[in-house]
């Protein structure tokens, strides 16, 4: 049995209490690391969930982007219609001008000596009317009446009775019929050319709108991506600060525990040969 006041058992310079304290300090660090890792993982898991929530909040298109995309679709659809209309009017313009040239030639052939040439030319002109395309009516322009001319023109030309062009009346009737068809085609040509100028302006306007809308969509998407990145970074920074506070807190707690143990149990470490040991 130990004498009263003898303190903790010791053998020579060996102190059981100090050894136990040192052992406790040695095992405290792994426990600290384990607890800190558990806490850190929990914080990181929470951070990941919040980051996912931030990402989802930016999922899909914003209302502004959606409106711009709807405008882009409308412009694209209208531009396709305008370009088709432009192509049709351009084709019809060339065909009408070709028909008018043939009608002038046909009129000159209304004579006794060229009846056979007249009939062959009439068939050639009538066939060209089949090349006319009906342009889809659009928001601008006036009806060119080509769908009507396409049937009436050949009908009127084929109704011409040549009779060998033996009498002047036959020549006059043939030329009058040709003049009627020519007047109708000239009227349609005037409308086509006006419509073509208008549709070119509309096409250019729609192309500019499409380009401007594409740029606007890109600008909005860039701003949205930046906002998403900033929001994620803000969340990450917030949890980074939390982890820093936890780390400092754990380290501080460990340092305080070690200081208390040193001050109360271990005392100041001295060399075994120190003269101060005489006063223990």
Comparison of pLDDT for 131 and 264, the residue scoring more = 131
pLDDT at site 170: 94
Structure confidence by residue, pLDDT tens digits, 28-48: 567 667 777 787 788 778 878
Ordered structural domains, the chain, with CATH: 67-227 (1.20.1330.10)
pLDDT digits (tens, 9 = 90+) for 227-242: 777 887 888 788 788 8
Closest CA to 36 of 256, 252, 259, 233: 252
Residue 117 or residue 8, greater confidence: 117
**pTM > 0.85: yes or no:** no
Task: Flag whether pLDDT at 13 surpasses 60.
Answer: no
Question: How confident is the model at residue 232, as a pLDDT?
Answer: 79
pLDDT at 137 over 60: no
- pLDDT of 236 reads 79
Instruction: Give the model's confidence band at 245: pLDDT under 50 very low, under 70 low, under 90 confident, else very high.
Output: confident
State the average pLDDT for the chain: 79
Q: What is the pLDDT of residue 10?
A: 47
Tell me the per-residue pLDDT of 70-121, one tens digit each, with 9 for 90 and over: 888 888 988 888 888 888 889 999 999 999 999 999 999 999 999 999 999 9
Residue 58 has what pLDDT? Answer: 66
Question: What pLDDT, on a 0 to 100 scale, did the predictor assign at position 275?
Answer: 52
What does the pLDDT read at residue 1? Answer: 44
């Amino acid at each position: 049995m130990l004498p009263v006041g003898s303190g903790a058992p010791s053998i020579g310079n060996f102190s059981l209490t100090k050894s136990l304290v040192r052992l406790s300090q040695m095992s405290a660090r792994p426990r600290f690391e384990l607890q800190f890792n558990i806490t850190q993982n929990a914080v990181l898991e929470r951070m990941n969930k919040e980051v996912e929530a931030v990402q989802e909040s930016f999922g899909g298109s914003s209302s502004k982007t959606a409106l711009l995309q709807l405008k882009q679709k409308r412009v694209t659809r209208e531009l396709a219609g305008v370009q088709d209309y432009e192509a049709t009017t351009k084709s019809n313009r060339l065909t009408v001008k070709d028909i008018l040239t043939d009608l002038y030639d046909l009129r000159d052939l209304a004579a006794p000596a060229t009846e056979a040439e007249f009939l062959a030319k009439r068939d050639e002109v009538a066939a060209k009317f089949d090349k006319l395309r009906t342009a889809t009516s659009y928001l601008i322009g006036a009806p060119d009446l080509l769908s009507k001319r396409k049937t009436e023109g050949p009908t009127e030309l084929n109704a011409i009775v040549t009779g060998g062009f033996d009498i002047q009346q036959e020549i006059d009737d043939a030329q009058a019929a040709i003049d009627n068809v020519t007047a109708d085609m000239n009227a349609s040509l005037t409308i086509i050319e006006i419509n073509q100028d208008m549709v070119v302006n509309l096409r250019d306007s729609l192309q500019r709108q499409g380009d401007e809308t594409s740029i606007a969509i890109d600008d909005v998407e860039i701003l949205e991506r930046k906002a998403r990145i900033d929001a994620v970074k803000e969340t990450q920074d917030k949890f980074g600060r939390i982890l820093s506070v936890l780390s400092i807190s754990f380290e501080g707690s460990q340092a305080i525990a070690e200081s208390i143990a040193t001050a109360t149990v271990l005392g100041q470490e001295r060399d075994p040969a120190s003269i101060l040991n005489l006063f223990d």
